[in-house]
């Protein structure tokens, strides 16, 4: 077991190093000089050069990369070109919004998808199955920003139950914060839930065809009991794999959704920083997103081993 | 319950099963009747697709929802055909148990073998977890799994095919069923293991006084393990009787063909195996008359018009053929071999 985890950890580290290299090189290759952007188009070349030196942008590529990595390790991400404040602080105050948003969206996704997927598989080819599967087909086809606007129209404009945008913060109580993240979370979750529901359904159907399901029935278990005690655990492997991948989609989705709902989250920070050529912020935010995705998939890998006893032995 | 001794344990009358296959509706089983007393053993023999497994699954009530079952299946006098699933669940694994062909896939890879063997005990006998575990270890010991106390918490992938089949046997026997259905229990196993597993099943049947229905495509397995046998072809029973009697004088051209087709020890090298010409008919388009008419060497026009009646050719020995006068003129069976 520990060998298995150790090996996955090494893979995780290698992936992170690779990701950091790609992020650094791609952003470095971008046209546009941060110093020029900051000083404005009519700044004198001398002033621009002075600022370039001050920001350390004149150093060789490898040196700048290593400086960045060292900074990442000690938690010093440098200062934003635009705000002049530490990047770490900027990110931290945005994560207070984005992490709860991601967790809410993922919770909604998993809840909707597992119930729909299990329900449809248990009622294979019946009316409920066909109905729910048609809904998921629609769900997959929805662009999430458009669905978000529809939600705003209905719940904020027409019914006035929830606000159309903005974030209430956590200071005045958890409920207010959750309330302002509800519509964005649902918008993010709908497409993912539709996909995951279909994955769950086919995974459950596949396991239902296995011989051991018939064995369990032959022991006297009812269909429902077989589903819960024998089928689901076997069906969870493909479902969790997709869940891990969807987490990445969900984070990417926050960039759009946070803009639709005027949420001061990480996605919006990335969006604004790209517009401002605040590349030091972009680089660290993207690295953070990459790390989150890699870590979530690492957790999924480790969970496989907890769910499926065969994996431990294979990898020991 | 008073006349338990003379009442058959299982009585099947005119069983018919209609399945929805990918090729359309098919009459997988028709007109199957038999009864089985307590402690009696019955063999079902035939090629794949002849309806023997469907017959077994209909006794278990485990056919797909779309299957239509007609006729009657009685267990100790009470009707099973059309029984609600919840009521059937109380019988399965409790009074009727089944062992399947594929030990490699018949066990859930995610659960320990101990839990899987304990499951019917907890369910039907309401044993506590500790009681069920203790009993599971005893059962695993009885079926010859080495070191059961230690291996009870192991997972199926840690066992060989033969060991897994022992585990499924322990599972099937947990609640001491009245009837054990073994569907090709040794087909997927190595030849050396086959004999051990069959001996184990035979010992357990005798020891516990169970009835058994043994399904096999192998005449040898049937000859050695059951008191009575039925030969199935195209969903119908074409010959049935006491095993010794059937093997002494085979009545149906199909049974005879099956018998001639088996490989013989001591046959000269290069000798070709005898075969039955043609292929097994699709259940979706069976011939109108005798199901074997298309391949039968003795076929006459009358065979093709209606399903032949059962002809008594010996004590308890029935053959569904109108040409037994010709087919049984030459003696085919153990005496001639």
Q: Are B27 and B35 in contact (CB under 8 A)?
A: no
Do B240 and B222 lie in a common domain? no
Q: Are residues B166 and B21 in the same domain?
A: yes
pLDDT tens, position by position, B255-294: 998 888 877 766 677 777 777 877 777 777 777 888 888 8
The reply to whether B160 touches chain A by the CB within 8 Å rule is: no
> Could you tell me if B84 lies within 8 Å of chain A, comparing CB atoms?
no
Q: How much is the average pLDDT of A179-202?
A: 93
Chain B residues closer than 8 Å to A211 by CB: 100, 102, 105-106
Residues B289/B306, Cβ–Cβ less than 8 Å:
yes
Contact B109 A217 (CB under 8 A): no
Residues B117, B167, single domain; the answer is yes
Structure tokens at B40: 């009696």
The answer to whether the CB atoms of B123 and A222 lie below 8 A apart is no
Judge whether B335 lies within some domain: no
Does residue B154 sit within a domain? Answer: yes
Rounded to whole angstroms, the Cα distance separating B231 from B246 reads 10
- pLDDT tens per residue, range A258-300: 998 899 999 999 999 988 888 889 999 999 999 999 999 999 9
Give B-chain residues touching A212 at CB under 8 angstroms: 105-109
CATH number of the domain bearing residue B186: 3.40.50.300
B1 falls within a domain:
no
Contacts of A316 in chain B (CB under 8 A): none
Half-sphere exposure of B101 (CA within 13 A, CB side): 13
B65/B165 same-domain check: yes
**Positive or negative: CA dihedral A260, A261, A264, A265:** negative
> Is residue A219 classed as helix, strand or coil in its secondary structure?
coil
Q: Are residues B191 and B245 in the same domain?
A: no
Q: What is the mean pLDDT of residues B187-210?
A: 89
Q: State the nearest Cα–Cα gap between B85 and chain A, in angstroms.
A: 7
Give every CB contact of residue B336 below 8 A, 6+ residues apart in sequence: B330
Nearest residue on chain B to A233, alpha-carbon basis: B110
The answer to whether position B149 is within a domain reads: yes
Domain-located, residue B81: yes
CB-CB: which of B89, B107, B155 is closest to A212? Answer: B107
Q: Touching check for B139 and chain A: CB below 8 Å?
A: no
- B168/A210 Cβ within 8 A: no
Which residue of chain B is at minimal alpha-carbon distance from A224?
B86
Give A79-116 pLDDT, tens digit per residue: 888 888 999 999 999 999 999 999 999 999 999 999 99
Per-residue tokens: B87: 């009521």
Q: What residues contact residue A274 under an 8 Å CB cut-off, 6+ apart?
A: A282
CA distance B252 to B179: 28
Name which of A219, A306, A308, A313 to mutate to probe chain B: the one with the most chain B Cβ atoms within 10 A of its Cβ: A219
Q: What's the pLDDT tens digit per position in B233-257?
A: 989 999 999 999 999 999 999 999 8
Are the beta carbons of A230 and B108 separated by less than 8 Å? yes
Instruction: Check if the beta carbon of residue A108 is closer than 8 Å to that of residue A183.
Output: no
- Interface touch A218/B62, C-beta < 8 Å: yes
Domain membership flag for residue B337: no
B104 touches B48 (CB < 8 A): no
- Percentage of chain A lying above the pLDDT 90 cut: 57
Position B191 in a domain: yes
Q: Is the pLDDT of residue A5 over 70?
A: yes
Per-residue pLDDT tens digits for A24-51: 999 888 776 777 777 777 778 888 888 8
Cα separation, A67 vs A70, whole angstroms: 5
Starting from the edge strand earliest in sequence, which strands make up the sheet with B179-183, in order? B96-99, B179-183, B211-216, B41-45, B228-233, B236-242, B317-319, B311-314
Spell out which residues of chain A touch residue B172, defining contact as CB-CB under 8 Å.
218
Do B74 and B193 share a domain, yes or no?
yes
Q: Are residues B60 and B101 in the same domain?
A: yes
Q: Which residues pair with B16 in a beta bridge?
A: B70
> Among all residues of chain B, which has the CA nearest to that of A235?
B110
In A, which residues are within 8 Å of B155 by CB distance? 309-310
Helices (H) and strands (E) in chain A, counts: 14, 0
Looking at residue A228, its pLDDT comes to 92
Looking at the DSSP bridge assignments, the partners of residue B237 are B232
| pLDDT higher than 90, residue B74 | yes
Per residue in A44-61, pLDDT tens? 888 888 888 887 888 888
Q: Which residue do the tokens 């073998």 mark?
A: B113
Q: Select from B107, B109, B120 the Cβ nearest to the Cβ of A220.
A: B120
Question: Is B337 an interface residue toward A (CB < 8 Å)?
Answer: no
Report CB contact under 8 Å: B111, A215. no
Range of the domain at B316: 233-264+274-327
Task: Tell me the chain B residues in contact with residue A223 when contact means C-beta distances shorter than 8 Å.
Answer: 85
* Same domain, residue pair B178 and B31: yes
Question: Model confidence over A111-157: pLDDT tens digits?
Answer: 999 999 999 999 998 999 999 999 999 999 988 888 888 988 898 88
The string of DSSP letters for A104-153 reads HHHHHHHHHHHHHHHHHHHTTTSHHHHHHHHHHHHHHHS-HHHHHHHHII
To the nearest 10 degrees (0 to 180), the angle between helices A279-307 and A87-122 is 40
Shared domain for B138 and B281, answered yes or no, is no
CA-nearest of B189, B171, B221 to B104 is B189
pLDDT score at B337: 43
Judge if B198 and B318 occupy the same domain.
no
**CATH class belonging to A87-315:** mainly alpha
Instruction: Classify strands B179-183 and B96-99 as parallel, antiparallel or unpaired.
Output: parallel
Q: CA-CA distances (angstroms) from residue B112 to A231, A308, B108, B115, B164? A: 15, 11, 8, 5, 12
ipTM: 0.87
Q: pTM for the full model?
A: 0.84
Instruction: Judge if B196 and B107 occupy the same domain.
Output: yes
Given CA atoms A24, A28, A30, A33 in this order, what sign does their dihedral have? positive
Work out the pLDDT band at B2, boundaries 50, 70, 90: very low
The closest of A133, A130, A125, A131 to A199, measured between CA atoms, is A133
Predicted pLDDT at B152: 95
Q: Which two tokens stand for residue A37?
A: 């952007």
In a domain? residue B269 = no
B102–A contact, CB cutoff 8 A: yes
Tally of domains in chain B: 2
What length does chain A have? 316
CB contact under 8 A, B89 and A221: yes
Chain-chain contact of B97 with A218 (C-beta, under 8 angstroms) = yes
- Beta pairing class for B236-242 and B317-319: antiparallel
| Same domain? B148 vs B252 | no
C-alpha distance from B104 to closest chain A C-alpha (Å):
9
């Amino acid at each position: 077991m520990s060998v298995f985890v150790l090996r996955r950890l090494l893979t995780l580290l290698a992936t992170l190093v690779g990701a950091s290299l790609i992020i650094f090189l791609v952003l470095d290759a971008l046209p546009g000089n941060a110093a020029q952007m900051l000083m404005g188009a009519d700044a004198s070349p001398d002033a621009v050069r002075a600022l370039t030196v001050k920001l350390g942008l004149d150093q060789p590529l490898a040196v700048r990369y290593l400086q960045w990595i060292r900074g990442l390790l000690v938690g010093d991400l440098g200062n934003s070109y635009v705000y002049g404040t530490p990047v770490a602080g900027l990110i931290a105050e945005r994560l207070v919004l984005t992490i709860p948003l991601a967790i809410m969206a993922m919770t909604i996704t998993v809840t909707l998808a597992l119930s729909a997927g299990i329900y449809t598989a248990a009622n294979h080819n019946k009316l409920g199955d066909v109905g729910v599967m048609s809904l998921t087909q629609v769900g997959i086809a929805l662009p999430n920003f458009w669905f978000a606007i529809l939600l705003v129209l209905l719940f904020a404009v027409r019914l006035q139950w929830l606000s159309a945008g903005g974030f209430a913060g956590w200071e005045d109580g958890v409920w207010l914060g959750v309330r302002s993240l509800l519509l964005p979370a649902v918008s993010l979750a709908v497409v993912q839930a539709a996909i995951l529901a279909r994955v769950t359904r086919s995974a459950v159907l596949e396991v239902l065809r296995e011989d051991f399901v018939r064995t369990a029935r032959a022991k006297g278990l009812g269909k429902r009991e077989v589903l819960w005690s024998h089928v689901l655990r076997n069906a969870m492997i493909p479902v969790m794999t997709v869940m891990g991948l969807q987490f990445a989609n969900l984070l990417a989705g926050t960039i759009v959704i946070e803009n639709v709902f005027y949420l001061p989250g990480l996605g919006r920070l990335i969006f604004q920083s790209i517009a401002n050529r605040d590349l030091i912020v972009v680089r660290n935010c993207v690295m953070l997103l990459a790390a989150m995705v890699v870590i979530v998939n690492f957790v999924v890998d480790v969970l496989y081993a907890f769910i499926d006893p065969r994996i431990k032995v294979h990898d020991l | 319950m008073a006349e338990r001794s003379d009442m058959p344990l299982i009585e099947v009358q005119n069983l018919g099963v209609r399945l929805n296959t990918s090729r359309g509706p098919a009459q997988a089983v028709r007109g199957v009747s038999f009864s089985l007393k307590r402690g009696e053993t019955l063999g079902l023999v035939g090629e794949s697709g002849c309806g023997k497994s469907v017959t077994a699954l209909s006794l278990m009530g485990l056919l797909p929802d779309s299957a239509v079952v007609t006729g009657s299946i009685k267990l100790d006098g009470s009707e099973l055909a059309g029984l609600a699933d919840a009521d059937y669940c109380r019988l399965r694994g409790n009074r009727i148990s089944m062992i399947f062909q594929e030990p490699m896939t018949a066990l859930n890879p995610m659960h320990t073998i101990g839990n899987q063997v304990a499951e019917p005990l907890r369910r039907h006998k309401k044993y506590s977890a500790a009681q069920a575990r203790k009993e599971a270890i005893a059962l695993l010991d009885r079926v010859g799994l080495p070191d059961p106390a230690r291996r009870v918490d192991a997972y199926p992938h840690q066992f060989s095919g033969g060991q897994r089949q022992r585990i499924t046997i322990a599972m099937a026997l947990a609640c001491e069923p009245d009837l054990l259905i073994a569907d090709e229990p040794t087909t997927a196993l190595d030849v050396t293991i086959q004999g051990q597993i069959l001996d184990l099943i035979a010992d357990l049947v005798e020891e516990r006084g169970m009835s058994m229905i043994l399904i096999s495509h192998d005449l040898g397995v049937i000859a050695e393990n059951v008191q009575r046998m039925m030969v199935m072809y195209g969903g119908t029973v074409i010959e049935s009787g006491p095993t010794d009697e059937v093997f002494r004088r085979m009545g149906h051209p199909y049974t005879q063909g099956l018998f001639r087709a088996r490989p013989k020890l001591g046959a000269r090298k290069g000798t070709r195996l005898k075969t039955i010409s043609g292929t097994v008919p699709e259940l979706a388009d069976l011939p109108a008359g005798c199901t074997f008419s298309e391949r039968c060497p003795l076929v006459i026009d009358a065979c093709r018009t209606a399903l032949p009646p059962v002809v008594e050719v010996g004590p308890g020995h029935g053959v569904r053929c109108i040409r037994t006068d010709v087919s049984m003129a030459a003696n085919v069976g153990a005496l001639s071999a």
